[in-house]
Structure formats: structure tokens, C-alpha cells
Structure 1
Amino acid sequence: MTAPDHLKITGPEDILGFIPHSLGYWPANSLVAMTMQGKRLGATLRVDLPDASRCRGPGLAAFALTVRDYLEADDAADGTLLAFFTGRSVEAVAEDAAEDAAGDATDSAEGELGADSAVDSALDPAVLARLLRELERTLGRAGLPVRDAWLVGERYWRNAFCLDPSCCAPPGRPIEEIRNSRLNAELVFRGSSVGAAPGRSTPAALQEQGEPAVLEAEEGWARDFSGRWRDRAQFGAVLDVWERVFDAGGHRSARATKASQAGEAALPAGLAGYLRASLRVAAWRDAVLVMAAAGRDAAEAGAEEFGMFDGGPGNPAALPELDALPAAESAGAPGEAGPAGATAAETPGYGDVLLGLAPPAPDWGRLAELDRVLRQLGNCGGGEARAAALTARGWIEWCRGRGSFADALFTAAGAEQPGYRLAELLAELGRRGTLCGWARRREAAWQKFDPDAA
């Protein structure tokens, strides 16, 4: 995610206060690196702090190079800000710092940082100093010099470079300065919130016992879909229904969506069952993702390219009750083919869309609506439909550049349906450090904060 241009930053408290809103949670035991484009904030990267055993020699160099490789995806970046979010008690680290200052005479810079930091840290202060110096060297050589860096603990924070006790005296400045910063207050006013770290609690979807009426409808639709998985008319009907759902969400303003999300009325049981049953067909699931991001033409052309259709009965199953939803502006009759002449050569392929390589920018509004609907569908019950919903939500988070949330959702999908293939493939992308193509470019990257929000 990139920072919006309209947010005004007046000091380090604002920068550090922006980070939890950007990530969606308050990080712990993490390095957060933010690129700079002149005086403007660029992309945000969070990685786990390395173990102390990796903070010497080749391990330390490899960690710094990995951070560099990620940050170089921001082609317009000309500098970097670093924040070390740590996780030990202030008292324990203050004692360690004093011991390091007295006992480590091999590196004066490490000793100075260790003696003065007194910030709660899972890493030894001298180790943090080595890590900072290696990042400075590596990023400086790459044309991304570190402009500033901070240590953020559980109760205190401080500048990592300031050694003057008159302005940076141990144990540091109260963490409340970050939580109560002007920018943090503005973001809360705009509707942003900071939740639990991904994976720290059982996802709500996994806590639900299911809704019997929805699950009964789902099984009924699954029986109706049997034998129609490769039927062009049925494929078109499924996309029609999903488009109606997307369009219904598009009629709500962003502010109304934020205000009503917690208490939003559930989808009708028959419709929810239909959508869940459609997600159990892998080709339809993928088409829904592609349609949300790149439009219906891409979904239909890609299906043709893959040779998905083999004729079939030619008559789609009956539709769920849709009277409560506004009519879709672009949808034809149920099962009707897409625009004439649409070919795979004229529209992005499934692979390009799923990797964020095309179109130039996705329809973030529709992806947000898809995420909202998938959350509801996952909460209705378990099984393959829930695994599909969790995986699709993970893909959306990956597209947004929020790898930690994506990985937590892929893990939850695997727990719900062991061996769920799409979740495994997408999780592997994350483990390899692959970034979504849209997240690499500022003009295409997801913006969490609505520029028109008051």
C-alpha cells in the first residue's frame, strides 16, 4: 500500500502513527521500511526481525539484501525510513543495554546505541545496531539512503540515531505520543482502525457454526449445478448473479459502507447458498476474481481461452431470488454470452490478472465489495465454500500488498480444507517474496484511505 498524498505529516509521531493504520495492526518484532519519493511517503514494507543468530556475517547481509529487493520495487523511491517495532519489556532491555555498553568494546557505534536505546526489544541493542548499520550500507548503495530510523517498544520510542541525552534520554518518549498523534486522530476520524495482528486470533469465520438455511440452500444449488460446470449458459448465469451483487454494493457510498459494515444485513439465505455453491466450482471461483478486478470481458475471454466449455445442457439452473438487488447495468439475460467479439487477445488473461500484471490497475471498489461478500459467505458455514472464500480474500489482501493478512487467510483456508490447491499456490508466492504487480506501482496500488473522506 502507498500513502495518500493528502495526509499531512508534521513529525516522526505522525509517521509512526501512520504505520499501524497502513498495515491494519500494530506490528511487533518487526522491521517496517517505508520508501520516500522526495518529501512524500511511498510504499510500506513489514518483515519479521531476524533472529540474533542471523545478525552476523552472511545472514545479516542476506536479510538487508532481501529488504533492498522489496523496496526497489518502488521505482520512484529515493530514500528510506526505518522503524524497528520490538517486543520486550523496557526494564529488561535497559539492563541489557547497560551490560552491552560495559562489555562490548569491539564496535563503538553498537555500544552507543545499546547504552542509550533502553527500548523494549526482542533483540539485543548491539544486534539492533549492527542490523541498522548493515541496512544503511545496503540501501545506500542501492540509491535508497536511510533518512531516519526509530526504535519503537511497548512503552517507549526513540530516534535510533540520536545519542544526545538532552533530547533522547533513556528510556525514550512515551508511546502515547504516537497513539495520540495528530495524524492518528485524523485517520481514526476518517474511519480507519487498527485491529489484531493477523494470525493472533482465530478468524471469525472459523468461529461460526454455520447458518442452516444457507447451508441447505447451498447443497440444493450444488445439486442443480452438477453436470453444468462446463456449460456456457450456466457460466454466464453465475456471472450475472455475481454482477448483480457487485452492483448492489456499488450503490452504497464509501462512508455508508464503513458506518454500516459491523451491523450490515446478511445476504438472503437462498442467494448466499447460490454464491457459496458457485465458489465450489474452481473455474467459476477464478472467473469471479478476474471479473471483479478486470471486468467481465476478461472473465469470459479467459474461460474461452482455457477451453472451459464443452456444450452442456444449454439451460442454466434456476436463479436465486434477486428482487432485493438493483438490476445490473451491464448484465444481459441469464446465461447470455458476453460482448460480441471479445477475445483473449483483447483482454488480460487469467494468469496476468491473478498476478496483478494486467489490467494497468484493478477495480479496487469491486474488489472491496467482493471482499465484503466473501466475508459474509465464509461466516455462513465451513467446508470447501469457506476455504474458497478465505483463499479469495487472501488473494485480495495480497493484491493490496498486505502479505501478513494474506498468509493468515491462506493458512486458515488450508486448515478448513487441507490441500486446497489455490491457497497453497498463492501462499507459495508469498513465501517466495513475490509482490503483486499492482502493489509495485504507486499509480495502481491500493489506497486504504478514501481521498474524499472528510
Structure 2
Amino acid sequence: MNALSIRDPADLLSFIGHTLGFWPQESLVCITLNRNNVGATLRIDLPREPGHERLFARTVASYLTNDANASNIVFALYTSATTEPGQPKPHAATIAALTGVLAENNITIRDGIFVGNDTYSPYDSEPGQNITLPLSTTEYSHVNAEFIYRGSTIAATNQITLPRRSHQGDDAMAVNEQLTTIGAMHPEEALEHAHRLWTDLLDAKEYPADEDTLTLIAYFQIPHIRDQLMADIPGIDELPQHVLFAQTRSAPKWSRFEWAQQLLLHAYTRTSPENAAPILTTIGYINWWEGRGSKAHQFMQLALDTDPSYRFARLSDQMLGAGIIAGWNTNRVTAYRTQLDMP
């Protein structure tokens, strides 16, 4: 993939939208930079109550400083709050606190954009200046055109819409029959069969036959097999526990992740309520690997909606709530990212 170049604020906003996959609302988005190269992208909800600006700034800085190569950042602040003439921009105290905390970590803010419902402007414009442009101009940006050409789209919100499940009663019976068959196998034999099926599906690039789909659903119900199948996704030949926590020497093969998610969403459409949680949790885990924490949380919650007792989803969601970042995303070389240069 050729590197992209950001030429103006419209390009930057387009890059953020396509990188996140949705248009942020009441959010702060920060992008770390090392010279002219993009590092990590962070989206976080804006504080809802005054008085928490310093804590918020420290939380943001704790994420951004995981990029050891970051020397400065750019940010975009998305809010429906309006700017009154002669008054500071909304969330000015938040940005001031962030500026100070980042300075303590030798990171400077290179630029900022204020994004309203219909317009955007420089966050720190001079008094009396009116450099406001309609958001519609981002539709014609160079970066937006390039992403659309590559098949990318920007959703209106970050809310997940699951595909409709089309499972029949026979599907649940078939999964239970597969579980009986798997239970009669030697554990190592079952693990090898599951590994072979899953890796063949990941390499095939086409949706599987119904029988293979139902067999895959059955394998994901068994915790030690589920863990191995998850560890197969990044295509790294290292210990599964290192892969699961993204603590590997090798970079993952990111091209496998989206197809794995599509296969699992396809499998979800054939699940019964009692079989859906492992599939949804795994999709959430993929999003955590990619640095999409808010989407990962939504998938964990959807898994718990189908099975409140599913411990893996609960533990994974607690990991997200603790702010733990996938190890690959703390390293610019291994992080999930779009290739892009800043002039």
C-alpha cells in the first residue's frame, strides 16, 4: 500500500474517520507523530463534568506515551458545543491540562482542530479570525478519495450493528452433535483438526460450507481450542499466550484480521443464543488487537448479553476497562496502522 500524505485539515479529518471507521462524537482524537510519520491514533470520550481535566489529561498521556517515538501530536476535538464570540473554545481547560501533562513527558502539541456538527476550524485561532469551513469539504479531500478508492467507508457512529442471525433449530442440534464428536476425540487430535479447519478457512478467502461453519462454532465453545484458534489469527509462530496478549517478537500479519472477523460474523449468523458468546468475544478481541477499544467493549457487552456467565468476555472487558493496550500497538513497527506521512 502506498503511503498517503496529509496536506490540510480536511485530509486529517478524513484520515481520522477512515482510520477509526466512524465519525467521532463528543470525542478527543490524538495522533502521535515522529518527525513527519504517524504513530498511534487514540480516540477517547471527552470528560462530561468539569473538574476532571487533569485526570483526563493524565489518562490520555498514559496512552500516548506508549509510543516511545512520539515527539509531538495533532488532535481533533469533536463536540456539538458551540463557540461563543470572545469566549474560549469548549473544553479549553481540558486542552490546557493536556498541553501541560504532555510537556512533562517531552511531547508538544503541533496542531489542533475544533470540529462541530457542521463546520471545523483551527482550535487555536487568533481573536477576530474566522477560519471556519463546512465539514462537507472533507468529502472532496485527497485522503478521503484515496480511502474510498481502496474500499473504505466512514460510519455515522461507532454503534455496532450485528448481522441478522438466520440459525434454525437444526443448527443448534448440529453444533451439539459436533461437540459430542469432539468430546470423543483425543484432545490433541481435536486441537489439530480445529487448527487445520480454521487455518484453511483463513487462507481460502471464501465463506465456508454450512457444515464447516457449524463445526467451527462447536470448536469455539471449547476454551483451550478457542484460545488456539485465536492465536492462529495473527499468523505468528510463537507461544499462543504471547500471541493472545500481543507480546510477540514478530509483527502480526494484519491482512488476516479483517477476514477472520468476517468469517466469525458469518459464523455468528448461524449461532443459537447459547453458542454466540465465544464468537462475539473473539471478534471483540480482534478489535482490541487493532486498537479499537470502544468497539471491542461493545462486542464484549454483546457477548455478555447472550451469556452473562461467559467468563472470558467478562475478564476481557475488565482488561479493556483497565486501559490495557495490546502490546503490538505500543510499538510503531508492529502497530495496526494505515501508512501515512505528514508533510
Residue number among 359, 367, 370 corresponding to 2:260 in the alignment: 370
Secondary structure, counterpart of 1:415 in structure 2: helix
Q: Once the 2 structures are TM-superposed, how far is the Cα of residue 383 of structure 1 from its aligned partner?
A: 2.8
Q: Which moved more, 1:402-411 or 1:383-392?
A: 383-392
Q: Distance in 1 between matches of 2:17 and 2:339?
A: 13
Q: Which moved more, 1:430-439 or 1:368-377?
A: 368-377
Q: Where does residue 443 of structure 1 map in the other structure? A: 333
Count of aligned pairs: 340
Residue number among 185, 188, 202 corresponding to 1:232 in the alignment: 188
Matches within 5 A, 1:204-223: 204-205=162-163, 207-212=164-169, 214-223=171-180
Q: TM-score of the superposition, structure 1-length normalised? A: 0.70
Q: Where does residue 145 of structure 2 map in the other structure? A: 185
Residue number among 44, 54, 59 corresponding to 1:66 in the alignment: 59
Please give the per-residue CA displacement for 1:33-62, whole angstroms capped at 9, x wherever unaligned.
111111222210000000133xx3xx2211
Q: Once the 2 structures are TM-superposed, how far is the Cα of residue 151 of structure 1 from its aligned partner?
A: 0.8
Secondary structure, counterpart of 2:30 in structure 1: strand
Change in CA separation of 1:449 and 1:148 when aligned onto 2, cut-off 3 Å? closer
Secondary structure, counterpart of 1:52 in structure 2: coil
Residue number among 313, 320, 325 corresponding to 1:423 in the alignment: 313
Q: Where does residue 297 of structure 2 map in the other structure? A: 407
| Cα RMSD after superposing both structures | 2.1
Question: Is 2:254 the counterpart of 1:291?
Answer: no
Q: Distance in 1 between matches of 2:299 and 2:284?
A: 5
Q: Distance in 1 between matches of 2:258 and 2:235?
A: 13
2:234–2:256 CA contact under 8 A, matched in 1: yes
Q: Distance in 1 between matches of 2:171 and 2:210?
A: 5
Q: Distance in 2 between matches of 1:367 and 1:384?
A: 25
- Higher Cα radius of gyration: 1
Q: Where does residue 18 of structure 2 map in the other structure? A: 21
Change in CA separation of 1:85 and 1:236 when aligned onto 2, cut-off 3 Å? same
Q: Once the 2 structures are TM-superposed, how far is the Cα of residue 196 of structure 1 from its aligned partner?
A: 4.4
What is the one-letter code of the residue matched to 1:220? E
Change in CA separation of 1:5 and 1:68 when aligned onto 2, cut-off 3 Å? farther
Q: Once the 2 structures are TM-superposed, how far is the Cα of residue 381 of structure 1 from its aligned partner?
A: 2.3
1:156–1:175 CA contact under 8 A, matched in 2: yes
What is the one-letter code of the residue matched to 2:189? A
Question: Is 2:282 the counterpart of 1:282?
Answer: no
Q: Distance in 2 between matches of 1:211 and 1:446?
A: 37
Q: Once the 2 structures are TM-superposed, how far is the Cα of residue 164 of structure 1 from its aligned partner?
A: 4.5
1:378–1:389 CA contact under 8 A, matched in 2: yes
Q: Once the 2 structures are TM-superposed, how far is the Cα of residue 233 of structure 1 from its aligned partner?
A: 1.6
Q: Once the 2 structures are TM-superposed, how far is the Cα of residue 214 of structure 1 from its aligned partner?
A: 3.9
Q: Once the 2 structures are TM-superposed, how far is the Cα of residue 213 of structure 1 from its aligned partner?
A: 5.2
What is the one-letter code of the residue matched to 2:124? F
Q: Distance in 2 between matches of 1:41 and 1:448?
A: 9
Q: Identity over aligned residues, as a percent?
A: 26
What is the one-letter code of the residue matched to 2:162? A
Q: Where does residue 276 of structure 2 map in the other structure? A: 386
Secondary structure, counterpart of 1:392 in structure 2: helix
Q: Distance in 1 between matches of 2:114 and 2:219?
A: 48
Q: Where does residue 118 of structure 1 map in the other structure? A: none
Matches within 5 A, 1:11-410: 11-53=8-50, 56=51, 59-88=52-81, 93-94=82-83, 97-98=84-85, 101=86, 111=87, 113-114=88-89, 125=90, 128-168=91-131, 172-198=132-158, 200=159, 203-205=161-163, 207-212=164-169, 214-228=171-185, 231-249=187-205, 266-295=207-236, 347-348=238-239, 350-410=240-300
Q: Distance in 2 between matches of 1:368 and 1:5?
A: 19
Change in CA separation of 1:24 and 1:399 when aligned onto 2, cut-off 3 Å? same
Q: Once the 2 structures are TM-superposed, how far is the Cα of residue 288 of structure 1 from its aligned partner?
A: 0.4
2:26–2:80 CA contact under 8 A, matched in 1: yes
Secondary structure, counterpart of 2:198 in structure 1: helix
Change in CA separation of 1:449 and 1:267 when aligned onto 2, cut-off 3 Å? farther
Structure ranking higher in strand proportion: 2
Secondary structure, counterpart of 2:175 in structure 1: helix
1:382–1:416 CA contact under 8 A, matched in 2: no
Secondary structure, counterpart of 1:290 in structure 2: helix
Q: TM-score of the superposition, structure 2-length normalised? A: 0.92
Q: Which moved more, 1:14-23 or 1:355-364?
A: 355-364
2:217–2:271 CA contact under 8 A, matched in 1: no
What is the one-letter code of the residue matched to 1:241? L
Q: Once the 2 structures are TM-superposed, how far is the Cα of residue 12 of structure 1 from its aligned partner?
A: 1.4
Q: Structure 1: give runs of 5+ residues left out of the alignment.
A: 102-110, 115-124, 250-264, 299-346
Q: Distance in 1 between matches of 2:278 and 2:323?
A: 23
What is the one-letter code of the residue matched to 1:403? G
Q: Distance in 1 between matches of 2:235 and 2:144?
A: 33
